[in-house]
Chains A and B, each alone.
Chain A
C-alpha cells in the first residue's frame, strides 16, 4: 500500500466535462517526489509548448506532496503550476494555509485542469465525488465574499477553497489565487490562468486520513525537526514578526527597496516596520496547517482587518513606492487579497511609473491624468482599481511591467525591474549577491524563492567552507562561492516545495537536509527514497524545468538582472558602492550545473 500519498490524480477537462480519477504511480513519484516536482514533470511530459497561455490547451495543475497534511510541521503547502500568462514561461506559485492537507485528505496528489468552461464555474470535490458546478452568481465577487458565499450555501464552514477575485476573472496577467482568504499563490499569474478557464474556485472537502508507512520512525524524525525549529536562533523573531522583520533587517543591510530601488535605506523605516505593525495593529498570531512558528498575524486598523501581510506586500506598498504610511500598506494588503492581485507585480508597475515620471520620461497625460509622484497613495488606489477593471491605462498595466514599458517606450524599459517578465521581489540584490544570481537564473523569473540562499546572511563561515569550499559563500557582498550556494539552495528549495513544506523552515532556517528528507520520505511513504534517489529527482526536475524554458524561448541572455543592479552602485548604507557582477556569476553557475556556455543542459 502506498502511504503518505493521496493515491490518486484527478483530471478535469472543462471543455468536454470529462472527469477522470487515476491511480498515482509509485515509480513516477520516485522520480518527482510530489508538489512542485510533480507539477513540473507533468508540464514537461504533457504540455504543448507553443500555445498561448490563455488558450484552452494550457494546463492548470494543483499539486501536493507525499507528506502534506502529515505530522511533519508546516506540511501545509500547495503548488499551482502552468504556462504563465505573465511571463510566457514556466509559471508556478505556492501557498500555505489549509487547502493542501484537505486535498490530501480527499485522496489526491494532483488536480489537473484543462480546457475551458463555457461559463463561470467552480469545481466541487468531496473525496471521490467530483462535480463542475455553475458559479455565475459569484461573478465579480471578491475572494472574501466568494469564500463566505460558498461556505454558506454548502452549509459547511470546514471546506477549503482556492478562489480568484475580479482581477482573475478579468484576466489581469498577475492575478492571484487565494486559499483561506489570505494565503495567496501570488506570482506568475495563476489567478489569470483560473480566469482563462472560467474557473472561479476549487472547493475541497476531504474526510480521509494521511497514513504513514512507519509512523513511529516518522514521529521521531518530526521530533528532531521540531526541536531544530523551536531552538533555532531566529525562532522568537520569526514567531513575533514573521517575514515583516525584514523591513528593519534589510534596511540595516542597506538593501530595502526605497523609491523603486533608487535607495537602499529608508530613514522613516520605524514608521513602517514589522515591529510597529505588531505593536499598533496586531491582535494575535496566525498559522498555517500544523505550524509551530505561527509567523502570520491578524491585524485590525481603523479601516480594515485581515490576516497578513507578508513582508513583500508591506514593502511593495510602502518604501518601494516612497510611502511611509503603514495603515495604507495594510489596507492595500487586504484589498489586493480580496481582489486577487499580486502585490509584487502590481507594486512594480506603479513604482516604474513613479520613477518614469520623476525622470521626466512621462507625465500625467500619459497616465489618464493620474499623478504618479512618490508616495501618492490616492494615485495608487486609483490605478489599482483601473488595473483590476482594465480601465484606460490600467489595461496596459494589467499586462505587467515588461509589456507596459515595451509599449510606452521612450527608454522606460531600463527602469522596468523584471527578469524574464517576472517583477523583482523586495530585496535589492546589490547587497546580497547570491540572491542576485537566484533572480537571474530562477526558472520562473525574477524571484528569490527558487533558491532563497538565506545562508549568505547567517555568518556561518565554517559551515560555508565545509559545504561550498569557501568561507566567502557566507559573505553576502562576495560573489565567490555563490554559484555553489545557489545550486545547493535550489535543490533544497525544490525539496521543500516537493514535500510541500514551508520554505521559511525548510530553507531559510536550514532545518532540512537531503539525508533527513530521505528518511522522512521513506518512513512516510514506504517507497525506497534514498538520499541519492532524492537528489536525482531534484536535479532531474531542475534540468527539465530548464529544458522546458528553452522550449519557451529562454536563452542565456535572459539569465541576467536589470541594468540598475549591475551598473548603478548603491549610494549609501551598509551595501554602499555595490553592484552585482552577474555575468561572471551566471557563468560559474552554468559550470557547476554542467550546462554549456549558452546555459543548455547536456542531452541525457
Chain B
C-alpha cells in the first residue's frame, strides 16, 4: 500500500497532478486518485488514497464489479460497473469517487506509483508487502450519507490530531 508520512507532506498536491496526468494526460483534482485534504487553519495536509483496508468495504459492490488485483489494489471492471455509486458510499474515507462516469480509485500505476516519484518531500512511499493492515472500522460508522469530499475532510481532521499534539507540545520552548 501507499504509506503516507504526514510530518512531511507540504500540501502541494504534486501527487494529484502527476496521478491525474499519468492516467489521462490532463491535470485536475477530480481526475486524481490521490487527493490531498488541506485544512489550512490547522496547518494540516493529508493525502487521502486507498488504504487497501482490512475490511475491503468497497468489494461489497452489488454488481460484483470490484476485485482485488495481485498487487493489492482495487480494480473496477468498466463493463460490469453500472455506476450505482455504492462503492463511493461504502468507502469510509472518500478514496473512491465517481467523476465523468468512472469510479476513480488508486491502481498503484501498475506497480510504480507516480505520486511517490513526484513527491519531492518524500511523504509518500510504496510498500507492496503491506496489505490490509489498516482497519477503518473505527471511522466507518461516522461516514454514512456524507459525500466523499466531506469524508476526506473528516478523516484528515481526526487522523491528524496526534500530529498536532506533537507540534503544540513543543510550543513553549
- Bound together, the chains give a CA A571 to CA B170 distance in angstroms of 41
Is A598 engaged at the interface, CB distance under 8 Å to the other chain?
no
Contact-residue bracket for chain A: 35 or more
Q: Which residues of chain A are within 8 angstroms of B9 by Cβ–Cβ distance?
A: 284
Query: Which of A205-213, A440-448, A453-461, A584-592 lies at the interface?
Result: A205-213
A213 to B: closest C-beta gap in Å: 10
Is A373 engaged at the interface, CB distance under 8 Å to the other chain?
no
Is B73 engaged at the interface, CB distance under 8 Å to the other chain?
no
Q: Which residues of chain A are within 8 angstroms of B28 by Cβ–Cβ distance?
A: 69, 105, 206-210
- A216 closest partner in B (C-beta): B25
A290 touches B171 (CB 8 A): no
B40 touches A180 (CB 8 A): yes
Q: Mark B1-41, 1 if CB is under 8 A from A, else 0.
A: 00000011111111001101100111111110000011111
Is B84 engaged at the interface, CB distance under 8 Å to the other chain?
no
Q: Which of A147, A209, A291 contacts B12 (CB 8 A)?
A: A291
B79 to A: closest C-beta gap in Å: 24
Q: Which of A156, A210, A300 contacts B27 (CB 8 A)?
A: A210
Is B64 engaged at the interface, CB distance under 8 Å to the other chain?
no
A98 touches B13 (CB 8 A): yes
Using known A-B contacts A207-B30, A210-B27, determine if residue A287 contacts B21 with beta carbons closer than 8 Å: no
B121 touches A219 (CB 8 A): no
Is A181 engaged at the interface, CB distance under 8 Å to the other chain?
yes
- B150 closest partner in A (C-beta): A155
Is A411 engaged at the interface, CB distance under 8 Å to the other chain?
no
B31 touches A302 (CB 8 A): no
Q: Which residues of chain A are within 8 angstroms of B172 by Cβ–Cβ distance?
A: 302
B13 touches A290 (CB 8 A): yes
Q: Which residues of chain B are within 8 angstroms of A305 by Cβ–Cβ distance?
A: 43, 167, 171
Scan residues 71-113 of chain A and give those whose CB is less than 8 A from a CB of chain B.
71, 73, 98, 105
- Bound together, the chains give a CA A597 to CA B23 distance in angstroms of 56
Using known A-B contacts A158-B29, A294-B120, determine if residue A209 contacts B41 with beta carbons closer than 8 Å: no
A287 touches B10 (CB 8 A): yes
- Bound together, the chains give a CA A69 to CA B27 distance in angstroms of 7
Is B173 engaged at the interface, CB distance under 8 Å to the other chain?
yes
Is B63 engaged at the interface, CB distance under 8 Å to the other chain?
no
A157 touches B120 (CB 8 A): no
A147 touches B40 (CB 8 A): yes
A287 touches B11 (CB 8 A): yes
Is A288 engaged at the interface, CB distance under 8 Å to the other chain?
yes
Q: Which residues of chain A are within 8 angstroms of B41 by Cβ–Cβ distance?
A: 144, 147-148, 181
Q: Which residues of chain B are within 8 angstroms of A157 by Cβ–Cβ distance?
A: 37-39, 149-150, 152-153
Is A577 engaged at the interface, CB distance under 8 Å to the other chain?
no
Is A17 engaged at the interface, CB distance under 8 Å to the other chain?
no
Is A285 engaged at the interface, CB distance under 8 Å to the other chain?
yes
- Bound together, the chains give a CA A144 to CA B41 distance in angstroms of 7
Q: Which residues of chain A are within 8 angstroms of B21 by Cβ–Cβ distance?
A: 71, 215, 219
- Bound together, the chains give a CA A212 to CA B21 distance in angstroms of 10
Scan residues 190-237 of chain A and give those whose CB is less than 8 A from a CB of chain B.
206-212, 215, 219, 230
Q: Which residues of chain B are within 8 angstroms of A69 by Cβ–Cβ distance?
A: 27-28
B57 to A: closest C-beta gap in Å: 22
Is B168 engaged at the interface, CB distance under 8 Å to the other chain?
yes
Told that A158-B38, A211-B26 touch, could you supply 17 new A-B pairs with CB distance under 8 A?
Answer: A71-B18, A98-B13, A98-B38, A105-B28, A105-B29, A157-B149, A209-B24, A209-B30, A210-B28, A211-B25, A286-B10, A287-B10, A289-B12, A291-B14, A292-B12, A301-B171, A305-B43
Q: Which residues of B contact A (CB under 8 A)?
A: 7-14, 17-18, 20-21, 24-31, 37-41, 43, 45, 99, 120-121, 149-150, 152-153, 167-168, 170-173
Give the 5 A-B residue pairs with the shortest CB-CB distance, closest first: A287-B12, A209-B28, A209-B26, A215-B25, A287-B10
Q: Which residues of A contact B (CB under 8 A)?
A: 69-71, 73, 98, 105, 144, 147-148, 155-158, 180-182, 206-212, 215, 219, 230, 239, 280, 283-294, 296, 298, 300-302, 305-307
What are 12 A-to-B residue pairs whose CB atoms are below 8 Å? A70-B27, A71-B17, A98-B38, A105-B30, A147-B40, A158-B38, A215-B21, A219-B21, A284-B43, A285-B8, A288-B12, A300-B168
